[in-house]
Structure 1
Amino acid sequence: MKARPASPKHGLAAGEAGRPVRADWTIDQDWEHYTAQEHALWKTLFERQARLVRGRACREFEAGLRDLPIDADRIPDFRRLSDVLARRTGWQVVAVPGLVPDEVFFDHLAHRRFPAGQFIRRPDQLDYLEEPDVFHDVFGHVPMLMHPVLADFVQAYGQGGLRAQRLGVLHHLARVYWYTVEFGLISQEGGLRIYGSGIISSHAESLFALDHPSPHRVRFDLERVMRTRYRIDDFQEIYFVLHDLDELLDLARIDFAPVYERVRRLPEIEPGELGAEDEVLARGTGAYAARAGRS
């Protein structure tokens, strides 16, 4: 199995008690209180994943990981990460106890604050986790925030999320986040590369997304993505591929209101379904989904 963010990073109450310590749901990271065992678990996760995604992750991820104070020896200190991010793209990392409500999540992103889980998974959760932890959030997300296009796009998503809530179309916008920031692929020299954090932070899905014959790989189209359901409990049945990251910057500049109106009148698309208008880069066999009883 694989590590799995439970939703596009928001939508549920944070922490076991389900109540915030502060109005913005942030907490102190308390970096000094991580145990030697927790740092050792980070080291296991980091070394395994960094080795695997070398040559699989996009060059922007590799550059971000190289330039940030993220290494195998210890869980990163959010204060040090924020110092580097702020100088490069104006972002900072803030600690939260888990998933946070939609409006809190969007407000943080709209103000260039990335809410990251403060806890780390247990040793028996190396390959599967429902709620995003510090490894998913920091290893998977933060390096891409060093790139100005991704930094601007994620802020625009936060701003757009608040508007989508008011319009009652949040599920359409959440699919854009899911199929880009979490599970996006990009065409680069040598073939397809990973930029989505849900793939980059997952050992099994890093292999599945690029190598397995089962999923479809389809050229990204905004309205198509907004209509497409996704899997939260298993590998994706379809991955959408960007030509380059500048496509995300284009999305940050458009008025989504007329797009929502068009999409509202169109039928939903199941994760493994292909349409006549799709630009299919690799047609999947669907074998994995069939074995899982989804066809």
Structure 2
Amino acid sequence: MLAHIQGMNTSTAPLENLRGDYAGMAPDWTVPQQPDLYSDEDQGVWRLLVQRQRALAERYACAEFLSGLDSIELGDTIPDFEAVNARLEPLTGWRIVGVPGLIPDAAFYDHLAHRRFPVTVWIRKREEIDYLVEPDLFHDFFGHVPLLTNPVFADYMQEYGRRGVEAGPDVRLLARLYWFTVEFGLIRTEQGLKAYGAGILSSAAEVKHAIEGDGVERLPFDATTAMNRPYEIDRLQNTYFVLDDFRQLMERPQRH
């Protein structure tokens, strides 16, 4: 979505300047995945990323994320969305839908509110392994989809979408909440501090920095505080919010 990933919005990132092919999309901004069209190079990039990030996840990710990787049967080839949906939907009622890239807030919120998660259909180039301006298939799928198998987190994502549909002028505050939870959230577990945010777990540098980095602010999670905390999009984060339990995500933030 435009405002919530890499800080983009419709004014700073016109759709015609974005990377995906928007010409053939449906009115809800979705496109067919066409899994047979990925090249050998695309598959090689996917395999490299999965092998690297899965190894890091085994060390730094929360148990719920790791369980999700197993539930969706993540492999060394780019996943077929329909095959994934056959495993995901019976677990939590969620489906993934293909999108050409970043989409407007209203479309993104509507998908979430109906338990559909938009996943970009194109994958980065090999020279973009370590940094990408826009979210691609790997970020969207590896970072986000595993936790959609967790009932509590799955309900939070739907509730977030519903709030987004209703947000009006509060949408910027919701963007910050998304950033500090869904993208860059940490959680305290019996095994120590772990990551669950997609922006952390899809990045080799961010995951080590978030858990082990010096000079990093790790605050107890409070939705109101997160919604009023600005963030930077083009550097490793210096502030993270730490959950004690995923159920905290369902607590309504206080309005100021």
**Which segments of 5 or more consecutive residues in structure 1 lack a partner in the other structure?**
263-295
Contact kept in structure 2, 1:184 and 1:239, CA below 8 Å: yes
Could you say what secondary structure the match of 1:94 adopts?
strand
Under a length normalisation based on structure 2, what TM-score does the superposition of the two structures give?
Answer: 0.92
Tell me what 2:72 maps to. 68
Match of 1:26 among 26, 30, 37: 30
Tell me what 1:129 maps to. 132
State the superposition RMSD in angstroms. 1.8
Q: Deviations over 1:21-51 (max 9, x none)?
A: 2110100101010111111110000001111
Under a length normalisation based on structure 1, what TM-score does the superposition of the two structures give?
Answer: 0.80
**Which segments of 5 or more consecutive residues in structure 2 lack a partner in the other structure?**
none
Using the TM superposition, give the Cα deviation of residue 20 of structure 1 relative to its aligned residue in structure 2, in angstroms. 6.3
Tell me what 1:52 maps to. 56
Using the TM superposition, give the Cα deviation of residue 169 of structure 1 relative to its aligned residue in structure 2, in angstroms. 1.1
Could you say what secondary structure the match of 1:22 adopts?
coil
> In structure 2, what residue type is equivalent to 1:83?
A
Contact kept in structure 2, 1:69 and 1:80, CA below 8 Å: no
- Cα distance change of structure 1 residues 123 and 209 upon mapping to structure 2, 3 Å threshold: same
1:181 aligns with 2:185: no
Using the TM superposition, give the Cα deviation of residue 214 of structure 1 relative to its aligned residue in structure 2, in angstroms. 2.0
Q: Deviations over 1:60-91 (max 9, x none)?
A: 0000001113112x101110111111100000
Tell me what 1:220 maps to. 221
CA–CA distance in structure 1, aligned partners of residues 73 and 177 of structure 2: 29
CA–CA distance in structure 1, aligned partners of residues 102 and 23 of structure 2: 11
Tell me what 2:7 maps to. 7
**Structure 1 stretch 10-19 or stretch 197-206: which is displaced more?**
10-19
- What fraction of aligned residue pairs are identical, expressed as a percent? 42
Contact kept in structure 1, 2:25 and 2:100, CA below 8 Å: no
Using the TM superposition, give the Cα deviation of residue 248 of structure 1 relative to its aligned residue in structure 2, in angstroms. 1.2
1:147 aligns with 2:147: no
CA–CA distance in structure 2, aligned partners of residues 194 and 69 of structure 1: 20
CA–CA distance in structure 2, aligned partners of residues 225 and 150 of structure 1: 18
Using the TM superposition, give the Cα deviation of residue 55 of structure 1 relative to its aligned residue in structure 2, in angstroms. 2.4
Could you say what secondary structure the match of 1:75 adopts?
coil
Radius of gyration: which is bigger? 1
- Cα distance change of structure 1 residues 16 and 64 upon mapping to structure 2, 3 Å threshold: closer
